[in-house]
Amino acid sequence: MASTFRACSLFSAAVVSVMCICLTHQLLVFSVAKAMPSSFSVDLIHRDSPISPLYNPLETRFDRLYNAYNRSISRINRFRPNSESSNNYTSNALQSDTVSSGGEYFMKFSIGTPPVSVLGIADTGSDLTWVQCKPCEQCYEQKPPLFDPRKSSTYKNLPCGSNSCNALDSSERVCDQQNACKYSYSYGDRSFTKGNVALEKFTIGVSTRSSPVLSFRNLVFGCGHNNGGTFDDVGSGIVGLGGGPVSLVKQLDKSIRGKFSYCLAPTAYAEEPCASSRIIFGSATESDAAAVSTPLVDKNPSTYYFVTLEAISVGDKRLAYGGSSASPTEKLGNIIVDSGTTLTFLESEFYNSLESALEEAIEAKRVSDPKGLLSPCFKGAKDIDLPVITFHFSGADVKLQPWNTFAQVQEDMVCFTIVPSNDIAIFGNLSQMDFLVSYDLEERTVSFTPTDCTSLSCDKLLNWQLQLVIDLYVM
């Protein structure tokens, strides 16, 4: 199956006209989900979307792609293993090597009583949800008002020795003289957040007939009184969606039974720059499309979603992943599924074979990326035929279309968006777009269902942006 590039344009009523060169695909050979799930849900806004507070109309789609590349390189540091323990991802490595990449998706929710609107980075690579709080010993500049726990009737600091405090790694928590539980996260780029571990009321959801707004009392979060570094000024902190005990999805377990999903629409440097993505808490609505599921592998830290990649096919050519020298134990859980990393990373030795297979499959002149970042690249854009690439996870074959694996970096050039890594593999968000990605933390599986994730039009999203401005800036 092949795909071609074509030009298209989208007009935004919010002052700018957004021009995009996009991928168009032939009739898909698989069914797609008919509708988005009806569980309670929240829109996820990509940082490069025209309705994002970070959107810069002066940047080209190529600028955004390269910026995403650089953020991906920074983010992969948080997943790198400690040099003294190549088989485990230790908390020491997490603390010393984590790099704040600014995040790819924002999620809106409210905390406290009365509720205060918060815009946080939705992060499947983090556990503890934290926001900046008054009073600030040191805070990075943010445009939305800071959360003031003294004005909330439902706020409560947690003591040391409590189960929730003990759930944090010993390197992440400290106790003060009043026996209050404190957290401390540091990042490789010298960003940091420190504060109280506390309980608070969270209000989550979109107000629709099929998706109500729900409130949850006594959720654990970090109230950051000392924060700094490279965090974006439009966000208030991080929403932890990882698999650890204090993550938001783990704390909502009784309500959502360990299930959550997201559907990522093509981004501003792909097909639909005005498309909205969505995260669904709870079971997703059944669809006619057959989902494929792969087991989650238990490894340290429990935050990350490890799965096993067995092979990759370029068209009909199948390439075994991991090498013959790797032991069965090393092959298990050899790649992390992560929504916060844009690119997909594969081990370097295997990548050489993959690159050769691509050259054989693509009948176009190979050229160099002018910025020297992506490879391989090919001359042409409008008429170039690109192969379907299949990721063969344990028990699940996930067919990626060309918009999942290639991007147009110039008017007449396309480049591969899967890159080599020396030590860790990550299945990034470009590869996950237009799939309903469903996590079941009770059954320990992650599933992929081909789905049209372009659920909202530009006009609806611009209304969402207006409401966001009202909620976050006019208070």
Per-residue pLDDT of the chain (475 residues; tens, 9 = 90+): 444 443 232 223 232 333 333 333 332 333 334 333 347 888 888 888 777 777 788 888 888 888 888 888 878 766 664 433 333 323 332 332 333 446 788 898 999 999 998 888 899 988 999 999 999 888 888 878 889 999 999 999 999 999 999 999 888 899 988 899 999 987 655 678 899 999 999 998 755 555 567 889 999 999 999 988 767 777 788 999 999 999 999 999 888 999 999 999 887 554 445 567 889 998 876 565 689 999 999 998 899 999 999 999 999 999 999 765 556 667 899 999 999 899 999 999 999 999 999 999 999 999 999 888 899 999 986 778 999 999 999 999 999 999 899 988 888 899 999 999 988 899 999 999 999 999 999 999 999 999 888 754 444 444 544 454 444 444 4
DSSP line for 442-467: TTTEEEEEEB----S-HHHHHHHHHH
Q: Terminus-to-terminus CA distance in the chain, angstroms?
A: 52
Which residue out of 123, 127, 232, 434 is catalytically annotated? 123
Which residue out of 43, 48, 338, 434 is catalytically annotated? 338
Pairwise CA distance, residues 389 & 411, whole Å: 23
Torsion of CA 442, 446, 451, 457, to 10 degrees: 70
Phi, psi of 367 (to 5 degrees): -135, 175
pTM: 0.82
Say how many C-beta atoms besides its own lie within 10 A of residue 121's C-beta: 24
The answer to whether 66 touches 72, Cβ cutoff 8 Å, is: no
Tell me if residue 423 is catalytic.
no
- Four-way CATH pick for 3-473: 2.40.70.10, 3.30.70.2740, 3.40.1390.30, 1.10.3720.10: 2.40.70.10
Tell me if residue 48 is catalytic.
no
378-401 core/surface letters (b: 16 or more CB in 10 A; e: else): bebbeebebbbbbbbbbebebbbb
Say how many C-beta atoms besides its own lie within 10 A of residue 114's C-beta: 10
Report in angstroms the alpha-carbon separations of 49 from 25, 85, 153, 328, 410.
Answer: 22, 39, 36, 42, 20
Pairwise CA distance, residues 50 & 462, whole Å: 8
